[in-house]
Amino acid sequence: SIGPGAVLPIVNKKIAPDGFLRQTTLAGGTHPGPVIRGQKNAEFTIDVVDLLTDKTLDLATSIHWHGLLQKNSNYEDGATSVTQCPLVPAESFTYDFKALDQAGTFWYHSHFGGQYCDGLRGAFIVEDPNDPQKSLYDVDNDNTIISLSDWYHYLSTSPPAIPAFNSTLINGKGRYVGGPQNAPLAVVSVTKGTRYRFRLISMSCDPSFVFSIDGHQFTVIEVEGTNVQPLLVDSIELFAGQRYSVVFKADQPIGNYWIRALPKVSTRILDFSDHTNVAILRYSGASIADPSADPNVNIPVSQLPLVETNLHPLVATPVPGLPQPGGADININLDVGFTSLPNGFQFSINGFPFEPPTVPVLLQILSGAQKASDLLPAGTVYGLDANKSVEITIPGGATGGPHPMHLHGHAFWVVRGAGNSSYNFVDPIVRDVVSIGNTGDNVTIRFFTDNPGPWFLHCHIDWHLANGFAVVFAEDVPDTSAAFTGSISAAWKNLCPVYNTWAN
Ligand code: C2O
């Protein structure tokens, strides 16, 4: 792993993670990229260098530190179209931000086009030296990170109308249907009698994954930076962008067990065969062999699935606003629309698709635009005054789904989750990606506007973001320039002229 003060070269490389060789875009030349690891409140200076050369893929880049809230450092958020222009080949940009009061399981990925689907993604772990749940586990190292992702045999720059993935990768390894059956699977090694903190990260571009480990249950202790009351489960559905820490006790007979990640798209379970959704949990002392169970069946019926409503923060924090639906200072309903086009599809929110503006929203603000109605893209920027409670409701089901919604700049209280008709204003989970569920759901979140700057809210299915499924919250516009301080601003301001010259 690398720590604060690291260099992160972005490179093209041909790899065959599932046995199929293709060109990719990677951080540090590996897939997933190097684990970034540091401590709570640490300052991270990460020098991203664009060494991309393959014109069949995107040559520009930008990295988003998913879940790091960028308190008063909106310009380090890495979201192209919103907070910065992309880097161009041979250019470097030093991201500089603090994990202020944050610890837990995060990740980083390209936020330019569909580039993270080509491989530009990795884990970002922030340790808390005073972790209140430390007594529950013995080991938490880079080997106990379990990343789940989809993998495509075509490039993100030329996707078919309705993109479909070819394989599931667990820690960057997998097999595809009809592909070589000797492509290596990921192995997670454990020692009997030891308790591990497994960090589960969905780096998916599309499907959710139902995660389980044959013969074992595990205890959820952290959700996206929020410590939670320990909750015993035997499966977790992770939507794109979601993370969990679980305590795993290696307390079964020494042997090999399947780790399963069953992909689902639009509530359909994709039932692959040929060992396509598995990795191996291997106890030390076990033979170097596959588990004997059938790798190709659906998850053995889960007795204890994770239910989001059952997640409660270890220490509940007051939900902003009054404890009733619509009881925030600002209440916004977002209706999602869908248009089928001859060669694809487009999403809209309250009637407007997000079409990337030529000038990032933050630069529009720094250049003098002060009213949300003056900010582009038209109809998709919502102004939020400072120090207000905000409630966002997003009815599910109108466009299929479930869609995982991710907010930048804030973790939010999920006061009404998918599958719930009731609200929890007392001790709901606080996270940064939530599924909006299906028809009849009205997922409702709350947050408080204490972090100036424009922030994305978007579906984390990358193909949906690319097709308009996003809005921007222009939070506390008057203080946005004031937050833009420090030596970084000159380098940041240079990104757009360089990009525009290069792109033309
Ligand atoms: Cu993980 Cu806007 O993204």
Domains of the chain: 1-130 (2.60.40.420), 133-314 (2.60.40.420), 330-503 (2.60.40.420)
What is the spatial order of strands in the sheet that 195-202 belongs to? 167-170, 145-151, 195-202, 243-249, 218-223, 226-233
**Catalytic center residues:** 64, 66, 109, 111, 403, 406, 408, 458-461, 464, 469
pLDDT band at 485 (very low <50, low <70, confident <90, very high): low
What's the whole-number mean pLDDT along residues 321-345?
95
What's the whole-number mean pLDDT along residues 249-273?
88
How does the average pLDDT of the chain come out, rounded?
A: 95
* 173-185 pLDDT, tens digit each: 999 989 998 999 9
- Ligand 1 interacting residues, C-beta cut-off 6 A: 64, 66, 79, 109, 111, 241, 406, 408, 456, 458, 460
What's the whole-number mean pLDDT along residues 115-120?
98
pLDDT band at 301 (very low <50, low <70, confident <90, very high): confident
Please say whether the beta carbons of 308 and 414 come within 8 A.
yes
Q: Which of 358, 443, 357, 350 is nearest to 394 (CA)?
A: 443
Please say whether the beta carbons of 261 and 168 come within 8 A.
yes
Give residue for tokens 């454990």. Answer: 190
Give residue for tokens 């951080």. Answer: 27
Q: What is the per-residue pLDDT for 270?
A: 74
- Contacts of residue 471, defined as CB under 8 A and 6 or more positions apart, other chains included, come to 334, 349, 354, 380, 381, 382, 456, 457, 458
Q: What is the per-residue pLDDT for 439?
A: 92
Measured in whole angstroms, how far is the alpha carbon of residue 389 from the centre of its chain? 24
What's the whole-number mean pLDDT along residues 392-419?
94
Asked whether residue 153 carries a pLDDT value surpassing 70, the answer given is yes
Asked whether residue 157 carries a pLDDT value surpassing 80, the answer given is yes
Asked whether residue 424 carries a pLDDT value surpassing 90, the answer given is yes
Element (H, E) at 443: strand 442-448
Asked whether residue 486 carries a pLDDT value surpassing 70, the answer given is no
From ligand 1's centre to the CA of 460, what distance in Å?
A: 6
HSE value, Cβ hemisphere, 13 Å, CA-based, for 183 = 27
Q: What is the per-residue pLDDT for 271?
A: 66
Taking the C-alpha atoms of residue 349 and residue 340, their distance in angstroms, rounded to an integer, is 15
Asked whether residue 143 carries a pLDDT value surpassing 80, the answer given is yes
From ligand 1's centre to the CA of 437, what distance in Å?
A: 19
Q: Is 293 exposed, middle or buried (0-12, 13-18, 19+ CB in 10 A)?
A: middle
- Contacts of residue 483, defined as CB under 8 A and 6 or more positions apart, other chains included, come to 72, 73, 74, 452, 453
Q: In the numeric block, which tokens belong to residue 386?
A: 């400072």
Share of the chain above pLDDT 90, in %: 88
What's the whole-number mean pLDDT along residues 312-321?
97
Asked whether residue 311 carries a pLDDT value surpassing 80, the answer given is yes
**ipTM for the complex?**
0.99
From ligand 1's centre to the CA of 457, what distance in Å?
A: 9
Q: What is the per-residue pLDDT for 299?
A: 66
Amino acid at residue number 132:
P
Query: At 503, is the secondary structure helix, strand, or coil?
Result: helix
Asked whether residue 26 carries a pLDDT value surpassing 90, the answer given is yes
Q: What is the per-residue pLDDT for 489?
A: 82
